[in-house]
């Protein structure tokens, strides 16, 4: 089970019980928040939020989450920190450990998060790196539980698009809960081979399967959940036009959704969504309730994570 002081850098490092603990607590905290029941589990605690990549959902959900838990969040832009002037991240980690109770970081290279965690004496939460996005993938599991039932084992999740940080973390998440996972990406945009190998090893313990293909129709066949993401992530704006041409056959449209064969199949998107690119306007709006449940659930999952690793 998760312990105070534990980092959350990757779902691969969590056990199946850890994932279940996060989801159960997230459900409890969501119910309390909806009922107006105070839950100050982090009274007097302070979270530092390092942003080297800007965000809407990440900043608001962590900041509001700390407030609802009775604590305080500090927004720390890299432009305002000495990090922006070249201070080593290991020195920043040791300084912030003297002031804070936890650190959340949203950045580019995953190695920066690993170094921060190695030198910090307080919990570090990965709010996004170019390699992994664990908070979003755990959020997606919570959302699927709400729409498909709490027993996720045996369901199939299909991801269609770029083999990016979302692909990696969803692959890890599915493997921990026994969901079959298939990713369809264009040639040259496949997920990281080491991540795929790790996910397949995790999947053996839960009876899940991990499949990577270039055929989106093959990936979604039999799927209960279809997930997509933007074709050009932050930092890839210059590649937008070239990527759009390559990814056009990977658009989530009604033809693709129908290929799942599940009349109750749901479509998810971590946002922001570019309608007419990775997903059509009509498919997005049909599943808007699910997608915005997903967006809301970032708040509840991250509160659960913070309470478990920063609480008493």
145, 269, 270, 300: the active-site residue: 270
Is residue 7 annotated as involved in ligand binding?
no
Which tokens go with 213? 């293909």
Is residue 58 annotated as involved in ligand binding?
yes
7, 68, 106, 140: the active-site residue: 106
Is residue 143 annotated as involved in ligand binding?
no
Q: Is 106 a catalytic residue?
A: yes
Q: Is 229 a catalytic residue?
A: yes
Is residue 275 annotated as involved in ligand binding?
no
Is residue 298 annotated as involved in ligand binding?
yes
* DSSP result, the chain: ---TT--BS-GGGS-HHHHHHHHHHHHHHHHHHHHT----TTTT-EEEEEESS--SHHHHHHHHHHHHTT-EEEEEETTTSGGGGT--HHHHHHHHHHH-SEEEEE-S-HHHHHHHHHH-SS-EEEEE-SS--HHHHHHHHHHHHHHH-S--TT-EEEEES--SHHHHHHHHHHHHHT-EEEEE--TT-PPPHHHHHHHHHHHHHHT--EEEES-HHHHHTT-SEEEE--SS-TT-GGGHHHHHHHHGGG-B-HHHHHTT--TT-EEEE-S---BTTTB-HHHHHHTHHHHHHHHHHHHHHHHHHHHHHH--
Is residue 165 annotated as involved in ligand binding?
yes
Is residue 271 annotated as involved in ligand binding?
yes
Is residue 229 annotated as involved in ligand binding?
yes
Is residue 134 annotated as involved in ligand binding?
yes
Is residue 55 annotated as involved in ligand binding?
yes
Is residue 233 annotated as involved in ligand binding?
yes
Nearest-5° Cα angle at 270, 81 to 18: 80
Is residue 168 annotated as involved in ligand binding?
no
136, 140, 180, 243: the active-site residue: 136
12, 110, 133, 180: the active-site residue: 133
Is residue 265 annotated as involved in ligand binding?
no
Is residue 72 annotated as involved in ligand binding?
no
229, 243, 262, 302: the active-site residue: 229
Do 278 and 231 touch, CB atoms closer than 8 A? yes
12, 269, 298, 300: the active-site residue: 298
Do 112 and 121 touch, CB atoms closer than 8 A? no
Do 123 and 310 touch, CB atoms closer than 8 A? yes
Residue 122 CB burial class (10 angstroms; 0-12, 13-18, ≥19): buried
Is residue 133 annotated as involved in ligand binding?
yes
Q: Is 136 a catalytic residue?
A: yes
Q: Is 118 a catalytic residue?
A: no
User: Residue ranges for the binding site?
Assistant: 55-58, 82, 106, 133-136, 165, 229, 233-234, 270-271, 298
Question: Binding site residues for L-ornithine, as ranges?
Answer: 165, 229, 233-234
Catalytic residues: 106, 133, 136, 229, 270, 298
- Residue stretches of the annotated binding site for carbamoyl phosphate: 55-58, 82, 106, 133-136, 270-271, 298
């Amino acid at each position: 089970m998760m312990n105070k002081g534990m980092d959350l850098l990757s779902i691969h490092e969590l056990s199946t019980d850890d994932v279940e603990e996060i989801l159960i607590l997230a459900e409890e905290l969501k119910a309390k928040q909806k009922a107006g029941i105070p839950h100050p589990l982090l009274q007097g605690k302070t979270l530092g939020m390092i942003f080297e990549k800007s965000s809407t959902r990440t900043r608001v959900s962590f900041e509001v989450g700390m407030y609802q838990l009775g604590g305080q969040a500090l927004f720390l832009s890299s432009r305002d920190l000495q990090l922006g002037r070249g201070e080593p991240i290991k020195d920043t980690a040791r300084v912030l450990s003297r002031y804070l109770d936890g650190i959340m970081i949203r950045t580019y290279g995953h190695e920066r998060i690993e170094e921060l965690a190695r030198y910090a004496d307080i919990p570090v939460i990965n709010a996004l790196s170019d390699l992994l996005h664990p908070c979003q993938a755990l959020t997606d599991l919570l959302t699927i539980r709400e729409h498909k039932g709490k027993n996720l084992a045996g369901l199939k999740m299909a991801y269609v698009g770029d083999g990016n940080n979302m692909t990696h973390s969803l692959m890890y998440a599915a493997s921990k809960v026994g969901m079959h996972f298939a990713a369809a990406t264009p040639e040259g945009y496949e997920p990281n081979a080491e991540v795929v190998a790790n996910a397949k090893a995790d999947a053996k313990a839960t009876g899940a399967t991990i499949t990577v293909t270039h055929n989106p129709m093959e990936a979604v066949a039999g799927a209960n959940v279809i997930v997509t993401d933007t074709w050009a992530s932050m930092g890839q704006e210059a590649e937008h036009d070239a990527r759009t041409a390559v990814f056009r056959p990977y658009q989530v449209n009604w033809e693709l959704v129908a290929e799942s064969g599940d009349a109750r199949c749901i479509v998810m998107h971590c946002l922001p969504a570019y309608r007419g690119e990775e997903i059509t306007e009509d498919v997005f709006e049909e599943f808007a309730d699910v997608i915005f449940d997903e967006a809301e659930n970032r708040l509840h999952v991250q509160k659960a994570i913070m309470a478990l690793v920063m609480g008493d």
